[in-house]
Amino acid sequence: MNESGRLRVLLADDQPLLRMGFRLILEGEDGLEVVGEASDGADAVRQVGRLDPDVVLMDVRMPTLDGIEATRAITRSGARARIIILTTFDLDEYAFAGLQAGASAFLLKDVAPAELVQAVRVVASGDAVVAPRVTQRLLETYVRGAGPAPAPDALGTQAPPAAVPASRDPLLEDLTPRETEMLEAMSEGLSNAEIAHRYFLSEATVKTHVRRILTKLHLRDRVQAVVYAYETGLVTPSNPDY
């Protein structure tokens, strides 16, 4: 966020019309500013370094460097920008790979304008919640596939990765029993207010627990905490038939 208090957004998509549509939506809102556009992942990485945006809307399929590798490069660089992956399908292995690479959320490209604006604001706050049903389904579908993805079939469609056993990270032992409960609740998609209600705590106390969890596990935000909880086996998919 700049000195004027406006959220700075970078658009990264190889379709000019889509970028134009997102720009019109975002710039029609108070407190939002589109500071740049990129037509491929490599340009997105360069512009993040130059423009220091708060949020990047990142398409997964772009030339030169795809959105997954661009997301990984941005998060590894230490940039403060939060990344929202844009995808066409709700159950998309590329969207899950984007979350693994460090993205804070994903949205379908046909997202309603109000939902797009809300997602940008929430992700920028660092308090993104994995609540939408499609996000939960995405995690449950692809979290079992930590190995390499199979080759595309004749139609170019890539099947979900094969199931592999999750490995429990020793860092989980650093969490207190209460923090473990908080992480499990976050993995259900509960907001701070909902967690506070469940455990008879104040929202301020829940926020403190969340911050400590992220620090102990060396995670970027609560969405990364949810991915981590699934990948390490702390939370298991509720429906293996997804």
Interval 84-111: pLDDT, tens: 988 887 666 777 788 888 888 888 888 8
State residue 168's pLDDT score. 63
Q: How many CB atoms lie within 10 A of CB 74?
A: 27
Residue 227: band (very low, low, confident or very high) from pLDDT cuts 50, 70, 90: confident
pLDDT reported for residue 193: 86
pTM equals 0.74
Q: What is the pLDDT of residues 113-139, one digit of tens each?
A: 998 998 899 888 876 655 455 566 666
Residue with the larger pLDDT of the pair 160 and 40:
40
Give the pLDDT score at 108.
Answer: 84
Residue 220's closest CA among 8, 116, 74? 74
Give the highest mean pLDDT range of 85-94, 144-153, 181-190, 209-218: 209-218
**What gap in Å lies between CA 197 and CA 195, rounded to an integer?**
5
Contacts (Cβ under 8 Å, ≥6 apart) of 37: 10, 11, 12, 19, 23
pLDDT at position 130 is: 53
Strand-pair partners of 86: 59, 107
- Which of these, 7, 25, 29, 9, lies nearest to 17 by C-alpha position? 25
State how far the Cα of 144 lies from the Cα of 161, in Å rounded to an integer.
7
pLDDT digits (tens, 9 = 90+) for 4-46: 678 999 999 999 999 999 999 999 999 999 999 999 999 999 9
Structure tokens at 165: 């056993």
pLDDT at 222: 81
| Mean pLDDT over the full length of the chain | 81
Helices (H), 126-191: 133-142, 177-187
What pLDDT band is residue 162 in, cutting at 50, 70 and 90?
Answer: very low
Task: Give the pLDDT of residue 150.
Answer: 42
d(CA 38, CA 45) in angstroms, rounded, equals 9
- 210 closest CA partner among 175, 236, 171, 168: 175
Residue 177 has pLDDT above 50, yes or no: yes
DSSP assigned state of 64: S
* The pLDDT value given to residue 100: 83
